[in-house]
Amino acid sequence: MKGVLLPLLLLSTNVMAYATNEPPDWVRQAARQEVPKYSVKVTSVVLFHEETLTVEPDGRRVMRERKAIKILQRSSDTPVATRVYNVKSGTIRDFQGWLVAPSGTAQAYEKNRILDVALSQQAVYDEARVKVLESRDADAGSIFAWEVVEEEKTVFTQAIHDFQDEMPVLVSRFVLTLPATWEAQGVIFNSEHIDPQLSGNTYIWELRNLPWTEREEFGPSLDALWPRLAVSYYPPSGNRAALPSLNNWASVSRWLSQLVDSAAEATDPVRTKASQLTANATTELEKIRAIGSFVQQTNYVDVQLNLTKGGGYTPRRADETLAKNYGDCKDKATLMRALLKAAGIESYLTTIYSGDRNFVRPEWASPLQFNHAIIAIRVPETVALPTVFEAPGLGRLLMFDPTDSITPVGDLPESQQGSQALILDGDQGALVRMPQLPARASRIESSVEAVMDTSGRIEARLQQEYFGQSGKPLLAVHKLRGEEGLKRKFEQVWSQQLIGMKLDRLEAVSRFEQNSLRLDARLTADRFGEVMQNRLIVLRPGMLAGIRTYSFKSRQRTSPIELNGALHQDSVKVKIPSGFKLDELPPPVMIETPYGTLQGAWTLDNDEIVFKQTLEIRSVTAPAAEFPQVRDFFDKVAGALTAPVVLISE
């Protein structure tokens, strides 16, 4: 019997080898497309991208992805094929890749070129993994193509298709096939609405000729700009897989609430801890602060387990997080809920997108739009903080992020302010916009007193106080690298604009509950004043006022400009060296725009040059068409910092 089979097997192997080297027709077809002329910055173009999702009656899904990329020019950015999957809920059934040389010769990638790696570098253990195939040695004109098939068992009845990523795209398509009697609805963000082509119970959404998007300073994240399709599908009620129908935010809140609420139980260990933490607290706010500080100290460790049953959204039990002293964002928020409950304070877990305040779209009710969990605490009228707001139907709420260890109660991380978040309260839950704190909450007050000698050298005392989010980057350095790290950072930044700068002393005082960081520095700068023939000294007092944060390299703009509110109040005094007097002062500056205001004045006060400036940046998202005006405003801000004062010998 064996003897008969062997030749057949050999034949079959040969055919397979030939078949895998020759790419399938869809690759050859994609390769025949005409590619338009793109910017020189574009190195590759997606010729064809298709995701085909087939849903079984029990909710299992099979996703086949096909993608073909043409390399337009050699670059260090090598295209990579990736597919993320979850080891518990899914498997990669097949992964094949091909490289078609400009001559048309094709080569299939060996299976051992496909790597399987953990998705997160931070997570101790994570079920999420990714298959990776790199297109090495691809010359300009080559086509890199791959096909991957993933099978997944999931409770989710929604899917996202990204029509685009870093490259321009010629054709991108999402194909959804549902069991009979099921229905689907899709919405496309960042592109005109299109209706799907419907054939039986197969839906097809397709976009063509998507241009390249350039990353721009102070712009939204590219994820928030690229066209993406959000699809929800609806099984008939009473379906055997008990899949949820998420058709509005209340239904998403209801579904997530049943995943999260039971974990926030105030068990005995939780009650004991809450009593300890609030023993000296006399007001509700003091209790919230005491509990908030404790949960912020709980170590952040990302562990995602049991995704099949909504694990990515199910926190661990609060008493378990308390006992182990670690958890991820939803674990920490749940621990805080339980401790607050034990202290008699009601709160809600809140899901949010951390990273871009414009990412979440209200028109698609889905948990897939969020990547982070924070907490909404019900507070009485006596608690008056900038992060308290009235949520329709939910009452007066104080928002807080217990995962951010340097932002205290009363403040919110910058990227979360003004963004849409879902407060989970069963059927009463709602998507609401988070409070946007006033610019004053993120102010920097700076005061400098300097004495200059006839060589232009100054000795200066610089005192700066950072409030709210303005101080977070420095606080993060202070927390991670200590005083020494902060000193290095200070020297690095200030030596860019003060030539020959030497830092003699730096004291940092962090007042966590006041949400401020105070720096007191003594420094010298050899060439603050530029001396010309011992007769003229030119100095720029604004260079002591602050660091130039806002600059735009390009003259063109395609994406909106996102500005975060901030207030800078600067006072600089420079004592004139003996033998010199004032020759020229810059005229005062007064600019008012929708993006911010600037008031600056240079005066002579006895033997001191005094520069005072107030710069307020408004929290706005300006359309790209307003870029010239935005840029003009910030050019003037930069101009005030470098405006020269001229001294002349007496």
Partner 1 sequence: MRVSDAKTPVFVQTETTPAKSSVEAKKGSFSLSVNGELEGDAEETFTGHRAFDLRSELREESQERREEWLRNRVIEMFPDAEVTEIAVENCDDPTQPLRFRYHLLAPQYAQVAGRRIFFHILPFQRSRPSPFSASERRNPVQFPYAWTETDAVRIRPPAGFVLDNASAPGGIGFGAAGGYNLTVAVGDNGQVIANRELTFVGTYFDAKDYPVVKQVFSEIQKRNTHTLALIKQ
* Piece in contact with partner 1 (CB under 8 A), picked from 173-181, 373-381, 496-504, 615-623: 496-504
| Of the candidate residues 5, 40, 242, 625, the single one contacting partner 1 (CB under 8 A) | 40
Chain-centroid distance of CA 498 in Å reads 32
CA 301 to each of CA 64, 263, 327: distance values in angstroms, whole numbers, following the listed order? 33, 18, 5
199 DSSP β-pair partners: 202
Q: Does 41 bind partner 1 (CB under 8 A)?
A: yes
* CB of 355 or CB of 485, closer to partner 1: 485
β-pair type (589-593, 158-162): unpaired
Rounded Cα gap, residues 36 and 492, in angstroms: 44
3 state DSSP class of 501: strand
Binding mask 535-554 for partner 1 (x = CB under 8 A): xx-x------------x-x-
Angle at which helix 268-277 crosses helix 284-297, to 10 degrees, equals 110
Q: How far is the CB of 530 from partner 1 (least distance, A)?
A: 5
Binding mask 416-435 for partner 1 (x = CB under 8 A): --------------------
Rounded Cα gap, residues 120 and 360, in angstroms: 23
Rounded Cα gap, residues 88 and 287, in angstroms: 40
User: Which residues in 163-270 belong to E strands, given as ranges?
Assistant: 169-177, 183-189, 197-199, 202-210, 228-234
* CB of 301 or CB of 536, closer to partner 1: 536
The torsion of the CA quartet 25, 26, 28, 31, rounded to 10 degrees, works out to: 170
* CB of 76 or CB of 606, closer to partner 1: 76
Q: Does 530 bind partner 1 (CB under 8 A)?
A: yes
* CB of 382 or CB of 533, closer to partner 1: 533
Q: How far is the CB of 487 from partner 1 (least distance, A)?
A: 8
Q: Does 533 bind partner 1 (CB under 8 A)?
A: yes
Rounded Cα gap, residues 356 and 76, in angstroms: 28
Q: Does 632 bind partner 1 (CB under 8 A)?
A: no
Binding mask 510-529 for partner 1 (x = CB under 8 A): ----------------xx--
* CB of 338 or CB of 645, closer to partner 1: 645
| Of the candidate residues 211, 236, 482, 500, the single one contacting partner 1 (CB under 8 A) | 500
| Of the candidate residues 2, 5, 76, 240, the single one contacting partner 1 (CB under 8 A) | 76
- 299 contacts 325 by C-beta, under 8 angstroms: yes
Q: Tell me the one-letter amino acid at 598.
A: L
* Piece in contact with partner 1 (CB under 8 A), picked from 201-209, 265-273, 280-288, 488-496: 488-496
Rounded Cα gap, residues 295 and 23, in angstroms: 54
Rounded Cα gap, residues 321 and 358, in angstroms: 32
Provide the token pair at 203.
Answer: 């839906």
| Of the candidate residues 140, 384, 590, 604, the single one contacting partner 1 (CB under 8 A) | 140
- Spell out the alpha helix ranges (H) of 172-283: 249-260, 268-277
* CB of 413 or CB of 586, closer to partner 1: 586
* CB of 218 or CB of 364, closer to partner 1: 218
* CB of 200 or CB of 587, closer to partner 1: 587
* CB of 329 or CB of 523, closer to partner 1: 523
* CB of 324 or CB of 502, closer to partner 1: 502
| Of the candidate residues 132, 281, 394, 646, the single one contacting partner 1 (CB under 8 A) | 646
Token look-up 């995943």 returns 259
* CB of 496 or CB of 629, closer to partner 1: 496
Chain-centroid distance of CA 84 in Å reads 20
Q: Does 532 bind partner 1 (CB under 8 A)?
A: yes
Q: How many residues bind partner 1 (CB under 8 A)?
A: 39
Q: How far is the CB of 536 from partner 1 (least distance, A)?
A: 5
| Of the candidate residues 23, 27, 30, 43, the single one contacting partner 1 (CB under 8 A) | 43
Rounded Cα gap, residues 224 and 583, in angstroms: 52
Angle at which helix 268-277 crosses helix 329-342, to 10 degrees, equals 80
Burial class (CB in 10 A: 0-12, 13-18, 19+), 548: middle
| Of the candidate residues 166, 214, 491, 520, the single one contacting partner 1 (CB under 8 A) | 491
Q: Does 604 bind partner 1 (CB under 8 A)?
A: no
Binding mask 190-209 for partner 1 (x = CB under 8 A): --------------------
Residues 255-284 that bind partner 1 (CB under 8 A): none
Q: How far is the CB of 442 from partner 1 (least distance, A)?
A: 26
Backbone phi, psi, residue 338, to 5°: -65, -45
| Of the candidate residues 123, 476, 503, 582, the single one contacting partner 1 (CB under 8 A) | 503
Residues 584-603 that bind partner 1 (CB under 8 A): 584, 586
Q: How far is the CB of 225 from partner 1 (least distance, A)?
A: 22
Binding mask 215-234 for partner 1 (x = CB under 8 A): --------------------
- 157 contacts 243 by C-beta, under 8 angstroms: yes
Rounded Cα gap, residues 4 and 15, in angstroms: 18
Q: How far is the CB of 417 from partner 1 (least distance, A)?
A: 30
| Of the candidate residues 191, 495, 558, 614, the single one contacting partner 1 (CB under 8 A) | 495
Residue of 366, 360, 375 whose CA lies nearest to 315: 375
Of the chain, the end-to-end C-alpha distance in Å amounts to 113
Q: Does 563 bind partner 1 (CB under 8 A)?
A: no
- b/e 403-435 (16+ beta carbons within 10 angstroms → b): bbbbbbbbbbbbbbbbbbbbbbbeeebbbbebb
- 388 contacts 412 by C-beta, under 8 angstroms: no
* CB of 297 or CB of 492, closer to partner 1: 492
Q: Does 474 bind partner 1 (CB under 8 A)?
A: no
Token look-up 């602060």 returns 289
DSSP assignment string, 405-417: TTS-TT---GGGT
* CB of 326 or CB of 552, closer to partner 1: 552
Q: How far is the CB of 497 from partner 1 (least distance, A)?
A: 9
- 517 contacts 474 by C-beta, under 8 angstroms: yes
Provide the token pair at 32.
Answer: 């025949």
The torsion of the CA quartet 309, 312, 315, 321, rounded to 10 degrees, works out to: 120
Q: Does 73 bind partner 1 (CB under 8 A)?
A: yes
* CB of 140 or CB of 323, closer to partner 1: 140
Binding residues for partner 1, per CB under 8 A? 40-41, 43, 73-76, 140, 487-488, 491-492, 495-496, 499-503, 526-527, 530-533, 535-536, 538, 551, 553, 555, 584, 586, 635, 639, 642-644, 646
